[in-house]
Chains A and B, each alone.
Chain A
Amino acid sequence: MTVLDTPAWRPRTDAAPLLPDPEPHRLLGTPAAARFDPALLRTLYGQLVRGRRFNQQATALTKQGRLAVYPSSTGQEACEVAAALALRAQDWLFPSYRDTLAVVTRGVDPVEALTLLRGDWHTGYDPRAQRVAPLSTPLATQLPHAVGLAHAARLSGDDVVALAMVGDGGTSEGDFHEALNFAAVWRAPAVFLVQNNGFAISVPIAKQTAAPTFAHKAVGYGMPGRLVDGNDAAAVYEVLTEAVERARTGGGPTLVEAVTYRIDAHTNADDATRYRADSEVGAWREHDPITLLEREMAGRGLLDDTWRRTVADEAETMAAALRERMNADPRLDPTELFAHVYAEPTQQLRQQEAQLRAELRAELEAGREAGRPS
């Protein structure tokens, strides 16, 4: 027996079943779509239309100065919606900063979901209410959190899956690697969704990775990698649902790459014309997630004009309500700045709070003296 016969060097898993398919998984427009539940298609369609309208409304709110910034997921709505719908109530979602739509689709109040981007607090919702972790601005740092939570849930004997979302740029971060490695070693019930939307701000995927696909990275960790058309809502839903169920039943983590495209710029502060051609954007507009779904549903007689109008009207009502609520100035208590640093404020924080209170009183009195209404 040579040294190389010892277990330390032997492959611990068979790589072949972990490899992604060469082409992204597609359902819409293929014969296989017939197996997909029509009611679910309707749900996906309603959520996509609503999600598109949400993206438009939030972008408009940046122009009105009501949001400091909005990283739009226009064009990526299928990924956002499917990520939220593939989970059960007990599961957790770990979103990145671009995933407000997934957070809202999961049931978080839209105004609370936009608190971070409006700037009145960081996380506006209670993460435990809908089991949605805070939107993470640092890249990929939320992935190990998802693994830890999934691991803890499994230790507790609970039937809980954590789904973490990350962009193509985030896959280059060390935390991406560490999270996937921990998840695979621990067989944590976690699912990783890479939304490959072509660019990390301006850097194209060719300069981001030399891997054949992001899904291929899974093999190195010992988990299956799945490649899916990120604009095909039914396919993303199907792949994520399979991955979530695999995790739930003890099969361990899965890495899913959804190939999609960011139609808008990185944020409203970005000029996308500097790094990509209009023709490229135009081609992706032809492959729009709503169009793909409409084509499928129309072909099967699942989409009539009346219902389509109902869906559009509902989305419009949602947008109007959001606009109205976002146009109200939030009521802020500046002394809350000191309330959540520690369980008990330190002596220094209590002194600083007293200082701020004095400053606020002085402002108020100065306002009164100047004859302004207090």
Chain B
Amino acid sequence: MTTATRAADRAAAPARKPATMARALNQALRDALAGDPSVHVLGEDVGTLGGVFRITDGLAEEFGEQRCTDTPLAEAGILGTAVGMAMYGLRPVVEMQFDAFAYPSFEQLVSHVAKMRNRTRGALPLPITVRIPYGGGIGGVEHHSDSSEAYYAHTPGLHVVTPATVADAYGLLRAAIASDDPVVFLEPKRLYWSKADWSPQEPAEVPPIGRAVVRRTGRTATLITYGPSLAVCLEAAEAAKEEGWDLGVVDLRSLVPFDEETVAAAVRGTGRAVVVHESSGFGGVGAEIAARITERCFHHLEAPVLRVAGFDIPYPPPMLERHHLPGVDRVLDAVGRLQEEEG
């Protein structure tokens, strides 16, 4: 290839520059608002301030206060009015400022958002996206670091997705807003400032909601994870090389629908599986995944499916959170225990 043709290639394809997940989410909202007049963003502080994490930065300015609306400070009211807006044909995208602040809206979510399509025999689908910054690792004080995914995943009628990469953040949010079903869109807030080469002019192709992605293939064991724990698992997989272990990593991306096929295929390839997430283990998403792996892959398993999860405690104060959050060492310990098991 000549220098001239390389230059031409560069001119044709826009340069991919490092972009944060926050930037990609902002662009997804901007593109959704621009592409569909029925899309409306609402929440506390989403307008002039651009959201406390700046995910809605500049949207009110560009699309007007009617399309990006600062609401009264009331989560049930935000989601409840979004239900009525969706009943009238709009596509509301609501922001719950922090995970634990979404709880006042739980009744609206569970009793109405999740069930309206079902209650009305399909007559009233609710295309609502509920954006919730979730999880710890940012030194937040009490009520700012909950991982609430199990509550939502346990509620039939909701889709629950969580991106772990910049490209997924954009692609999944566009898909969530376009979905005719309500989507709980969990944003791992400690990844807001994670960067990747990404271009808003040419966002990468992202698989649809409901599909997991194999981030890394391996032969020793499979790590199954999502959202904030993906980075931990990838780092663990790198570190495991020193032990001579070759770890595969599956990023679920979507907790509901759950992609059993991708997970089962990956686990069958290694015979050993560890599910990793930072929310509490008891009654958590990991328990569901472990049970399904056992049901589907029992004869391929060389060892029990293990879980590496946060402790079963209320989210700890920031100076202690590092002891709670599963890190690389805990993941490697679990993989080590798997090796001790004889098939």
- A positions within 8 Å CB-CB of B: 121-123, 126-128, 133-134, 138, 141, 143-153, 155-156, 162, 174-175, 177-179, 181-182, 185, 336, 339-343, 346-348
Contacts known (A144-B81, A162-B84); A175 close to B119, Cβ less than 8 A: no
Report the separation of the CA atoms of residues A179 and B72 in the bound assembly, to the nearest whole angstrom: 10
Q: Does B124 contact A (CB under 8 A)?
A: yes
Report the separation of the CA atoms of residues A143 and B84 in the bound assembly, to the nearest whole angstrom: 9
| Chain-A contact segment, one of B16-24, B106-114, B166-174 | B106-114
- Pick from B66, B87, B89, B119 the residue with the most CB of A within 10 Å: B87
Report yes or no: B123 in contact with A128, Cβ–Cβ below 8 A: yes
Report the separation of the CA atoms of residues A155 and B90 in the bound assembly, to the nearest whole angstrom: 10
Q: Does B152 contact A (CB under 8 A)?
A: no
Report yes or no: A343 in contact with B124, Cβ–Cβ below 8 A: no
Residues in A neighbouring B115, C-beta threshold 8 A: 122
Residues in A neighbouring B244, C-beta threshold 8 A: none
Report yes or no: A156 in contact with B88, Cβ–Cβ below 8 A: yes
Contacts A144-B84, A162-B84 aside, 9 further interface pairs with beta carbons under 8 A come to A122-B115, A123-B121, A138-B111, A145-B84, A145-B87, A152-B89, A175-B77, A340-B117, A340-B122
Report the separation of the CA atoms of residues A134 and B122 in the bound assembly, to the nearest whole angstrom: 12
The interface bits of chain B over 179-192 (1 if a CB of A lies within 8 angstroms of the residue's CB, else 0) are 11100000000000
Report the separation of the CA atoms of residues A156 and B83 in the bound assembly, to the nearest whole angstrom: 16
Report yes or no: B81 in contact with A126, Cβ–Cβ below 8 A: no
Contacts known (A141-B108, A342-B159, A348-B257); A146 close to B76, Cβ less than 8 A: no
The interface bits of chain B over 73-91 (1 if a CB of A lies within 8 angstroms of the residue's CB, else 0) are 0101101111111111110
Residues in A neighbouring B86, C-beta threshold 8 A: 148
Partner of A178, one of B66, B74, B125, B258: B74
Report the separation of the CA atoms of residues A269 and B107 in the bound assembly, to the nearest whole angstrom: 25
Report yes or no: B117 in contact with A341, Cβ–Cβ below 8 A: yes
Partner of A148, one of B84, B117, B256: B84
Report yes or no: B120 in contact with A151, Cβ–Cβ below 8 A: no
Report the separation of the CA atoms of residues A174 and B103 in the bound assembly, to the nearest whole angstrom: 13
Q: Does B260 contact A (CB under 8 A)?
A: yes
Report the separation of the CA atoms of residues A336 and B67 in the bound assembly, to the nearest whole angstrom: 37
Report yes or no: B77 in contact with A181, Cβ–Cβ below 8 A: yes
- Shortest distance from the beta carbon of B330 to any chain A beta carbon, whole Å: 30
- Shortest distance from the beta carbon of B86 to any chain A beta carbon, whole Å: 8
Residues in A neighbouring B123, C-beta threshold 8 A: 123, 126-128
Report yes or no: B87 in contact with A141, Cβ–Cβ below 8 A: no
Q: Does B283 contact A (CB under 8 A)?
A: no
Interface residue SS majority, chain B: mixed
Q: Does B271 contact A (CB under 8 A)?
A: no
Partner of A144, one of B83, B120, B180, B256: B83
Report yes or no: A348 in contact with B80, Cβ–Cβ below 8 A: no
Report yes or no: A152 in contact with B80, Cβ–Cβ below 8 A: no
Nearest residue, chain B, Cβ from A145: B84
Partner of B71, one of A150, A182, A341: A182
Report the separation of the CA atoms of residues A174 and B107 in the bound assembly, to the nearest whole angstrom: 11
Contacts known (A342-B157, A343-B180); A151 close to B121, Cβ less than 8 A: no
Partner of A149, one of B71, B84, B258: B84
Q: Does B210 contact A (CB under 8 A)?
A: yes
Contacts known (A174-B104, A185-B72); A144 close to B117, Cβ less than 8 A: no
Report yes or no: A133 in contact with B87, Cβ–Cβ below 8 A: yes
Report the separation of the CA atoms of residues A306 and B77 in the bound assembly, to the nearest whole angstrom: 51
Report the separation of the CA atoms of residues A147 and B90 in the bound assembly, to the nearest whole angstrom: 14
Residues in A neighbouring B156, C-beta threshold 8 A: 341
Partner of B87, one of A122, A126, A149, A340: A149
Residues in B neighbouring A153, C-beta threshold 8 A: 88
Contacts known (A179-B77, A340-B118, A341-B157); A148 close to B111, Cβ less than 8 A: no
- Shortest distance from the beta carbon of A136 to any chain B beta carbon, whole Å: 8
Report yes or no: B82 in contact with A148, Cβ–Cβ below 8 A: yes
Contacts known (A141-B108, A148-B82); A127 close to B124, Cβ less than 8 A: yes
Residues in B neighbouring A148, C-beta threshold 8 A: 80-88, 92
Report yes or no: A145 in contact with B157, Cβ–Cβ below 8 A: no
Residues in B neighbouring A179, C-beta threshold 8 A: 77, 80-81
Report yes or no: A134 in contact with B120, Cβ–Cβ below 8 A: yes
Residues in B neighbouring A347, C-beta threshold 8 A: 257-258, 260-261
- Shortest distance from the beta carbon of A130 to any chain B beta carbon, whole Å: 12
- Shortest distance from the beta carbon of B288 to any chain A beta carbon, whole Å: 10
| Interface residue ranges of B182-239 to A (CB < 8 Å) | 210
| Interface residue ranges of B296-315 to A (CB < 8 Å) | none
Residues in A neighbouring B76, C-beta threshold 8 A: 144, 174-175, 178
Report the separation of the CA atoms of residues A133 and B84 in the bound assembly, to the nearest whole angstrom: 9
| Interface residue ranges of B120-165 to A (CB < 8 Å) | 120-125, 156-157, 159
Report the separation of the CA atoms of residues A162 and B90 in the bound assembly, to the nearest whole angstrom: 16
Residues in B neighbouring A121, C-beta threshold 8 A: 121
- Shortest distance from the beta carbon of B99 to any chain A beta carbon, whole Å: 19
Report yes or no: B80 in contact with A134, Cβ–Cβ below 8 A: no
Nearest residue, chain A, Cβ from B292: A348
Report yes or no: A141 in contact with B260, Cβ–Cβ below 8 A: no
Contacts known (A127-B123, A134-B120, A174-B104); A181 close to B84, Cβ less than 8 A: no
Report yes or no: A149 in contact with B108, Cβ–Cβ below 8 A: no
Report the separation of the CA atoms of residues A166 and B129 in the bound assembly, to the nearest whole angstrom: 28
Residues in A neighbouring B180, C-beta threshold 8 A: 343
Contacts known (A152-B88, A178-B80); A123 close to B210, Cβ less than 8 A: no
Report yes or no: B258 in contact with A341, Cβ–Cβ below 8 A: no
Residues in A neighbouring B179, C-beta threshold 8 A: 343
Partner of A127, one of B87, B89, B181: B87
- Shortest distance from the beta carbon of B254 to any chain A beta carbon, whole Å: 10
Report the separation of the CA atoms of residues A348 and B254 in the bound assembly, to the nearest whole angstrom: 14
A-B contact pairs, 5 of them (CB 8 A): A121-B121, A145-B84, A148-B88, A178-B72, A339-B121
Report yes or no: B81 in contact with A343, Cβ–Cβ below 8 A: no
Report the separation of the CA atoms of residues A9 and B122 in the bound assembly, to the nearest whole angstrom: 47
Residues in A neighbouring B181, C-beta threshold 8 A: 342-343
